[in-house]
Amino acid sequence: MTPGMEVRPAEPDRLPLRVLLVAAEPVVRLQLRRLVSGRPDLEVVGSARNDAELEALLAETRPAVLLVDARDARSGAAAVLRLAARQGLRGLSLLGEGAAPAGAALPCPADLAAEEPGGAFMQQLSGALRGAAGTAQPSRLAATRPSFRPELIAIGSSTGGPQALSELARALSRRRPSLPVLLTQHMPMTFTAMLADQLSRCGYPAVEAMEGMPLQPGRIHVAPGGFHLLVRRDGDRLACTLDDGPPENFCRPAVDPMLRAASRVAGGRVLAVILTGMGSDGLLGCQGLVAAGGVVLAQDEASSVVWGMPGAVARAGLCHAVLPLSAMADAVARLATGGPS
């Protein structure tokens, strides 16, 4: 057998998801094998250095999904994924930190040796692998903890967002949850004020956020272009804070800082909604929010212009539900009032 190729006998009746690793660097293959094999819900059935080695392994190992180190050009990620597609398989790409995922992809920590099978990254990776394999696509609202009573709603969107937000605002205007709403839409300065006006014309009051502005129930507070929208607690009320710090996920405003701040201030009492958008902004923020006890809804692929941002949180297994845009307002209204889901 060619050096670098490792095979385990295929056992089609095993319950764990069957994963085949593709990584050019031996140390990376070793660390990925250690991490993936250490989880009871995953099984490594083989590994290869590139597409040339992969072809001989596919029939022998019968994986459910490929895990590809796309950070190293020697792995030939594009060729690997094309080969997998011809075989009816899907793959998940590991990207360098800060890279914007396209398709099924996940940012990879710089030091895999520091990660553990039960850690946050591997929980995220497990959900992303199942999503890429097509085994983790929720289609209806799941059951919620009876005690979930959100204190605020946080919405993130990008490409296709203004149209989706207008539709959501029109639908929500008939229900008007009595909670303040934070909104980060990837949009430059001057356009965010126009967005707030557009949403108000759709029947849901909206305003471009200002420093120190109190959060009002039943109102959308839009992150202004050029600033991350954060939130702080002033006594018994919440207020907006604007941050002109570095861009995150190549954006300012960005969704991740908003979700981090909301989670710090309100703990698990946050309902996050991730709508259509390119990249993966919101993924890390949703991870922390869910860990704190919050709830995430994501727009489904069919109704999204670009299923990047909602797809990232869906594939990571962070979503309470993945819904068409037409069903989102009902779900938000029910969860916002603590009603049955």
Give the angle 127-29-248 at the CA atoms, nearest 5°: 50
Residue 326 annotated as catalytic: no
Residue 158 annotated as catalytic: yes
- pLDDT per position as a tens digit, 179-220: 999 999 999 998 999 999 999 999 999 999 999 999 999 999
- The single residue listed with the structure tokens 């929720």 is 138
* Same domain assignment for residues 100 and 214: no
- pLDDT per position as a tens digit, 75-117: 888 888 888 877 777 888 898 865 555 567 888 888 999 999 9
Identify the domain boundary among 83, 105, 133. Answer: 133
- The single residue listed with the structure tokens 């869910």 is 290
If pLDDT is split at 50, 70 and 90, which confidence band does 231 have? very high
pTM over 0.75: no
* Same domain assignment for residues 246 and 282: yes
* Same domain assignment for residues 201 and 332: yes
pLDDT of 106: 83
If pLDDT is split at 50, 70 and 90, which confidence band does 5 have? very low
- The single residue listed with the structure tokens 């839009």 is 222
* Same domain assignment for residues 104 and 191: no
* Same domain assignment for residues 126 and 159: no
Q: What is the CATH number of the domain that holds 106?
A: 3.40.50.2300
Give the domain extent around 283.
152-336
Q: Residues 253-278, buried b or exposed e (16+ Cβ, 10 A)? A: bbbbbbbbbbbebbebbbbbbbbbbb
* Same domain assignment for residues 102 and 182: no
* Same domain assignment for residues 272 and 175: yes
Region 148-152 average pLDDT: 89
For residue 329, the one-letter residue type is A
Query: Which residues pair with residue 238 across a beta bridge?
Result: 233
* Same domain assignment for residues 113 and 158: no
Q: Is residue 206 part of a domain?
A: yes
- The single residue listed with the structure tokens 């946080």 is 154
Q: Which one is catalytic: 51, 186, 221, 263?
A: 186
Region 158-176 average pLDDT: 93
pLDDT of 24: 93
* Total tally of structural domains belonging to the chain: 2
Q: Which one is catalytic: 47, 158, 263, 304?
A: 158
What is 132-171 written as a DSSP string?
HHT-----SPPP--TT---SEEEEEE-TTHHHHHHHHHHH
Q: Is residue 138 part of a domain?
A: no
Residue 33: CB partners within 8 Å, gap ≥ 6?
6, 21, 44, 47
* Same domain assignment for residues 170 and 46: no
> Which tops the pLDDT comparison, 26 or 236?
26
Q: Which one is catalytic: 228, 281, 300, 304?
A: 281
Identify the domain boundary among 85, 101, 133. Answer: 133
